[in-house]
Structure 1
Amino acid sequence: MRAFSTLLDRLVLTPSRNGKLKLLSDYFATTPDPDRGYALAVLAGTLDLKSVKPAMLKELVLERMDPVLFGYSYDYVGDLAETISLVWDQDRGEAAERAEPRLSAVVERMQSLSRLQVRAAVRDLLDQLDVSGRFAFLKLVTGGLRIGVSARLAKQALAEMAGKDVTEIETLWHGLEPPYESLFAWLEDRADKPLLATPAIFHSVMLSNPVTEGDLDGLDPGDYAAEWKWDGIRVQLSHHGGTRRLYSRSGDDISGAFPDIIDAVAFEGVIDGELLVGGTSRSNQPTRTFSDLQQRLNRKTVTAKMLSDYPVFIRAYDLLFDGVTDLRGEAFLDRRARLATIIESERPERFDLSPLIAFESWDELDRLRHNPPDPVIEGVMIKRKDSIYQAGRAKGPWYKWKKQPLNVDAVLLYAQRGHGKRSSYYSDFTFAVWKGEPGEGELVPVGKAYFGFTDQELEILDRYVRNNTVDRFGPVRAIRAEPDHGFVVEVAFEGLNRSTRHKSGVAMRFPRIARLRQDKLPRDADRLETLLKLFD
C-alpha cells in the first residue's frame, strides 16, 4: 500500500503530463503483481469495490473527534479523504507494530466483505495505515481520485514502460480484467499477447483538432469534405460473432444503457458515429437536445418508459470494419461509400448517415457553421477526402470548427475549495444572473465553473471569497452578491439545457470563466431573459 500511496502523493504534486507519465511508468515497472494491476484498475476506473459512503466515513471519524473541531478541519482542508487521513486518531504504539498491508490485500479484502462487514473493515484499515496510506485508501474506496490521471494516460504509461504501441493496449483492454497479470506478462515479453474474451472489441478512435487562426490558410477546400458536428456523444458500435457492444469514445462499455441500439444491430463490423436522442432523418422526426440524452447516460439498466420517452439512434460517421475486413487504411470517401450501403439496410429508426455539407470556400463554410439548420448542431467537422482512419489526434486530416462560444456577464454566488493542487483555494464557483424586474430582481444560479482563469486570477478570486463570505453550507461558502457589491465574471459557454434542478430553469453547457470583470457592478450583469431567448 505504501508504494501506491506514495505514487498518489507524487501525482498530485506533479503538474506536467510528462512528469506524470514518468511516475506511472516507473511504478508499473518496479511494483510486483498483482499490486500494480490493481493500481492500474484504480487509475483507469475499472476496479469494482464495495462502495463506502462519505456519511459513513464522517460517522467513523466523529466516534473519535469532537464534531466542531472536525467541522473546522474539514472546512480548512476542503477534501474529506485528506481531512480524515490527517485527523484520524489511533494507538500509535499498536499501529507501529502492525505491518502495513499491500494494495492487493486491501482490494481483495474489500471485495470479499458483506455489506454489514464494511464499516468495521474500514475502521480497522484506517488504524493500520499511515497518513498517506489512509488518504490513498479513502480515495480508493470512494472512487474520487482527482489526481489528473485519465485511463488513456495510464495506458500510455504502460506503452512507454514496455515500448509498445498504445493502440495495441487499447485494443486488448476490454478483453481483460483486473489485476491484468496477462497484460503485464505480455508487456514484459514473458508471455504471448493475451487472447480476447470478446470479439466485439473497442478500437481507438480518430480525433480532430480545433481550427485555430491560420490553420485553413493554404488548404484547398476541394480536398476536404464537411459534416455537421452534432451535440450528442461519440460512440463506437461493434458487432462480431454474435457479440454486440456499444462503447464511448474513451472505450467505456455503455451497452447496458442502450439496449434498443444493441438489439437493432444487423450488420457485422465496427461503426463510428454520434449517439443522439429523437428521430433520425430517415424517420422524419426532430433530433432532441443533449439534456434529453443525459437521461439515459451513466445507467446500467433503463426502464421501458425511459426507452419510450428518450429513443436513441446513431448518426453514423465512419466505418472501421466491414465484417472482418479492416477498412482503416482506405480513404475517407471510400469508407463512407461502404458505410452508406450498410446504413441503408439497417433499421431506419435507429441508424442514419451523417450528411455531407456542400461548400466551395472556407468563407462559405464559416457562414454555414454560424447558421446551422438544426439547434442540436454545434459546428462543422472538416475531413480530408483521402484521409485514412488513424487512432489519436493527428495534425491535418480532421478538424472541428465549432460555433463561437456564447458569453454572458454573471455574478459569483457560491464557492468551494478545489482538489489536488487547488485544495487550499476556492476554485469551484457557482454564478448567477438576474431574474425579475430591473432593480428589484433576484440572482438565480445558471451554472458552475472551475477553470478558464489563470493562477494569478485564482489568487484574486480566492481572496475575494475569503473576504466576502456571508454564509457557510458545509464546505460551500455563500459570497456577498448585491446590486452594488459583488464579483462579476464573463462566462463563456457552448449551449443551454432546460433544467429542473436550477431555480433559473436553465443550465449552461461547458461553462468556463473567460474574464474577471472587476470593472463592472453586479447590477450590470446579464439577465435571465437574455438566456431564455437563446431557446427561441
Structure 2
Amino acid sequence: MRLFSALLERLAFTPARTVKLALLRAYFAEAPDPDRGYALAAIAGTLVLPAARRSLIRDIATARVDPVLFELSYDYVGDLAETVALIWPVREAAVEEPPSVSLVVETLRAATKSEMPGIVERWLDASAPSVRYAILKLMTGGLRVGASGRLAKTALAEIAGIAPDEIEEIWHGLEPPYRPLFDWIEGRESRPDPAGAPVFRPPMLAHPLEDADLAALDPEDWRAEWKWDGIRVQLVRTAGGVRLYSRTAENIGAAFPEILDALDATGEAVALDGELLVLRDGEAAPFAELQQRLNRKTPTGAMMARFPAFVRLYDILFDNGEDVRGLAFDVRRKRLEAWVERVRPERMDLSRLIPFADFSELAALREAARAASIEGLMLKRGASAYLPGRPRGMWWKWKRAPLTVDAVLMYAQRGHGKRSSYYSDFTFGLWREGEDGPELVPIGKAYFGFTDEELRFLDRWVRHHTIGRFGPVREVEKALVLEIAFDAAQRSTRHKSGIALRFPRIARIRADKPAHEADGLDAFVKAYLAH
C-alpha cells in the first residue's frame, strides 16, 4: 500500500503528462502481483467493491474526532478521504502493518456490513496519513489524481513497446487483477485472446475544422453528415455477448437495455459506431432529455417510455465478424447501408449523408442546424480507413459557433481532487422582474473554461464576497458578471428559471461590467427558445 499511496500523492501533484507516465511505468514495474493489477483497475475505474458508503467513513471519523471540528475541516479541505486521512487520531501505537492493496480489496469483498467499521479503523490506525488516503480512495472510488485509465494503459504500452490501442482492444476481455495482461507486456506470455468477447475498439475521432483547413479541401473528396447532439457510442455483438460502450470505453449497456435487446435480436456478429439519442416522432430530442437516461444506471419502465433511446448509425467496424476498418469510408458506408437494409434493426437508423456541390452550401446548412438539436456537421474523406485516435486530415468536425450570455455569479462550491481547496464550481443567473423588483434566477452551473490564473481570481473573489453559507455552498454578492458560452438552451421544469443550458462554460470574466447590465431572462428566452 505504501507504493500505491506514494504513486497517488505524486500523481496528484504532478501536472506534466510525461512525468505521470514515468510514475505509472515505475509503479507497474516495481509493485507485486496482484497489487498492481488492482491498482490499475482502481485508476481505470473498473475496480468493483461492495459499496463502502461515505456515511460509514464519516461515522467512524466523527466517533473518533469532535463532530464540529470534523465538519469545519471537511468544509475547508473539500474531500472526504483527504479530510479523514489528515484528521484521524491514532489511539495507540500501531501494532499492525498497513494493509496491501490486494488485502484491502479481498477483505472488503469478504467482510460483512457489521465487520466493516472495525476493519477500517484498524487499517487507519496502522497507517500514515498518505496511506490512509489511499485506503479510503480505494474504498470510495473516484481517485481524482489526474491519471485516467487511458493514461495507465499508455504507460503499460510503453513498457511493452506497443501501441496503447493494442491494449484497448483486449481490455474488455480481461478482469482485475489483469495477470495475463502483465504477463504479456513483460514478455512471459503471448497476447491475451479475448476469445470472442464483445470488446471495445478505439474510435476514430475528428479534428475541429478551421477556415484554413476548409480552403484546402476539394468537395469531391468529402462526404458530409450531421453531427448529432447525443453521445458517441459503439455497439458490439459477438458470440460472447452484447455491449454498448461510450466513446471512452465505459460499458453503459445497463442504462439502455432496450438498445442491447435490439442489437441482440439482429443475431449478427457486428460492431457499429453511432450516436445515442432520445428520439421523438422521428426527431432527435434535446440533449437534456438523453441526460435523464444517462443519470440512471438501471432505468425504470416509465423512464424508458418517457425518454425512448435510439442509435443513429455512422459506421460499421465489423460486419458478420469480418474486420472492415481497413476499407475506405465509401466502401464501409455501402456495407453499413446493406446491413441496415438486410437486418432492419429496431431502435437504429442511418445517419444520412448530405449531398452538396460546394462548401458554401454546407455552411448555410450548418448555421441553420441549431434549431434541430444538431451540433453541426461532420466531413469525412471518402477514401479514409477507420483508424484509432485522431488522424490528421481524415475526419473534420465543423461545429456551429457557441452562443453566449452575460450572467451574474450567484453561488460557488469547492471542487474535487486538485481543486478541493478552490471554489471552482460556479452557479450563475439572469435577471427577471420579481414581486419586489429585479431578481436573479439561476440558469446553470459551470466548472471549467477558465485558466489557472482566472481560477485563483474567482476563488479569492468568492472568499471576499461571501454573504451566506448553505452547507458546502457559498452565496456571494451579486456583483460579478461572467460571460457564459453554451451550445444550446432548452426548456426545463427542473430549474426555477425554466431553462437549462447545454455544455455551459465560462468564456470570460466581465469584471468591467456592472451586474445590473447582465442579461435578462425574458430576452434570453425570446432569443434562444422562441421556437
Deviation digits for residues 301-348 of structure 1, max 9, x if unmatched? Answer: 333323322222211101111112211111101100110111123346
Mean CA deviation greater in 20-29 or 64-73: 64-73
Mean CA deviation greater in 251-260 or 458-467: 251-260
CA separation in 2, counterparts of 1:122 and 1:499? 43
Deviation digits for residues 334-375 of structure 1, max 9, x if unmatched? Answer: 100110111123346512111111223333322211112852
SS in 1 for 2:146: coil
Q: Which amino acid letter does the alignment assign opposite residue 502 of structure 2?
A: R
The Cα of 1:255 is off from its aligned counterpart by: 2.1
Pick from 448, 466, 469 the counterpart of residue 466 of structure 2: 469
Correspondence for 1:494: 487
Indicate conservation of the 8 Å contact 1:432/1:443, yes or no: yes
Q: 1:246-285 residue pairs with structure 2 within 5 A?
A: 246-265=244-263, 266=266, 267-279=268-280, 285=282
Counterparts in 2 of 1:188 and 1:502: CA distance versus 1, 3 Å: same
Pick from 520, 523, 529 the counterpart of residue 516 of structure 2: 523
Residue 115 (structure 1) aligned with residue 108 (structure 2): no
CA separation in 2, counterparts of 1:291 and 1:143? 27
The Cα of 1:400 is off from its aligned counterpart by: 0.7
Correspondence for 2:356: 359
SS in 1 for 2:302: helix
CA separation in 2, counterparts of 1:474 and 1:330? 57
Correspondence for 1:22: 22
SS in 1 for 2:404: strand
Counterparts in 2 of 1:299 and 1:99: CA distance versus 1, 3 Å: same
Indicate conservation of the 8 Å contact 1:491/1:515, yes or no: yes
CA separation in 2, counterparts of 1:16 and 1:366? 39
RMSD: 1.9
Pick from 166, 176, 179 the counterpart of residue 178 of structure 1: 176
CA separation in 2, counterparts of 1:444 and 1:423? 27
Residue 286 (structure 1) aligned with residue 252 (structure 2): no
Indicate conservation of the 8 Å contact 2:108/2:116, yes or no: yes
Indicate conservation of the 8 Å contact 1:176/1:197, yes or no: no
SS in 1 for 2:339: helix
The Cα of 1:236 is off from its aligned counterpart by: 1.0
CA separation in 2, counterparts of 1:198 and 1:124? 44
CA separation in 2, counterparts of 1:117 and 1:526? 56
Q: Which amino acid letter does the alignment assign opposite residue 309 of structure 2?
A: V
SS in 2 for 1:38: helix
Counterparts in 2 of 1:258 and 1:425: CA distance versus 1, 3 Å: closer
Q: Which amino acid letter does the alignment assign opposite residue 316 of structure 1?
A: L
The number of residues matched between the two structures is 526
Correspondence for 1:69: 69
The Cα of 1:515 is off from its aligned counterpart by: 0.5
Correspondence for 2:93: 94
CA separation in 2, counterparts of 1:476 and 1:437? 24
Correspondence for 2:206: 208
Counterparts in 2 of 1:244 and 1:423: CA distance versus 1, 3 Å: closer
CA separation in 2, counterparts of 1:243 and 1:54? 34
Indicate conservation of the 8 Å contact 1:240/1:323, yes or no: no
Correspondence for 1:391: 388
Indicate conservation of the 8 Å contact 2:414/2:421, yes or no: yes
Indicate conservation of the 8 Å contact 2:262/2:345, yes or no: no
CA separation in 2, counterparts of 1:391 and 1:110? 38
CA separation in 2, counterparts of 1:303 and 1:450? 31
The Cα of 1:298 is off from its aligned counterpart by: 4.8
Indicate conservation of the 8 Å contact 2:45/2:142, yes or no: no
Residue 307 (structure 1) aligned with residue 304 (structure 2): yes
Q: Which amino acid letter does the alignment assign opposite residue 317 of structure 1?
A: Y
Correspondence for 1:512: 505
Pick from 218, 221, 224 the counterpart of residue 223 of structure 1: 221
The Cα of 1:437 is off from its aligned counterpart by: 5.4
Indicate conservation of the 8 Å contact 1:230/1:379, yes or no: yes
Correspondence for 2:443: 446
SS in 1 for 2:212: coil
Correspondence for 2:415: 418
Mean CA deviation greater in 35-44 or 77-86: 77-86
Q: Which amino acid letter does the alignment assign opposite residue 404 of structure 1?
A: A
SS in 2 for 1:190: coil
SS in 2 for 1:104: helix
CA separation in 2, counterparts of 1:235 and 1:248? 5
Indicate conservation of the 8 Å contact 2:60/2:121, yes or no: yes
SS in 2 for 1:115: coil
Indicate conservation of the 8 Å contact 1:256/1:299, yes or no: no
SS in 1 for 2:516: helix
**TM-score w.r.t. length of structure 1:** 0.94
Q: 1:311-350 residue pairs with structure 2 within 5 A?
A: 311-347=308-344, 349-350=346-347
Indicate conservation of the 8 Å contact 1:246/1:262, yes or no: yes
**TM-score w.r.t. length of structure 2:** 0.95
Residue 296 (structure 1) aligned with residue 293 (structure 2): yes
CA separation in 1, counterparts of 2:97 and 2:52? 24
Q: Which amino acid letter does the alignment assign opposite residue 137 of structure 1?
A: I
SS in 1 for 2:97: coil
Correspondence for 2:6: 6
CA separation in 2, counterparts of 1:176 and 1:242? 13
The Cα of 1:163 is off from its aligned counterpart by: 1.0
CA separation in 1, counterparts of 2:445 and 2:391? 32
Residue 83 (structure 1) aligned with residue 83 (structure 2): yes
- Listed as ranges, the gaps of 5+ residues in structure 2 are none
Residue 408 (structure 1) aligned with residue 405 (structure 2): yes
Counterparts in 2 of 1:438 and 1:516: CA distance versus 1, 3 Å: farther
Indicate conservation of the 8 Å contact 1:49/1:107, yes or no: yes
- Listed as ranges, the gaps of 5+ residues in structure 1 are none
The Cα of 1:69 is off from its aligned counterpart by: 2.1
Correspondence for 2:144: 146
Q: 1:369-380 residue pairs with structure 2 within 5 A?
A: 369-372=366-369, 375-380=372-377
Off by >6 Å, runs of 4+ in structure 1: none
CA separation in 2, counterparts of 1:287 and 1:424? 40
SS in 1 for 2:443: strand
Deviation digits for residues 381-430 of structure 1, max 9, x if unmatched? Answer: 11111000000111110111111111011111111222333333222211
CA separation in 1, counterparts of 2:330 and 2:463? 57
The Cα of 1:530 is off from its aligned counterpart by: 3.4
CA separation in 2, counterparts of 1:196 and 1:328? 18
The Cα of 1:228 is off from its aligned counterpart by: 0.3
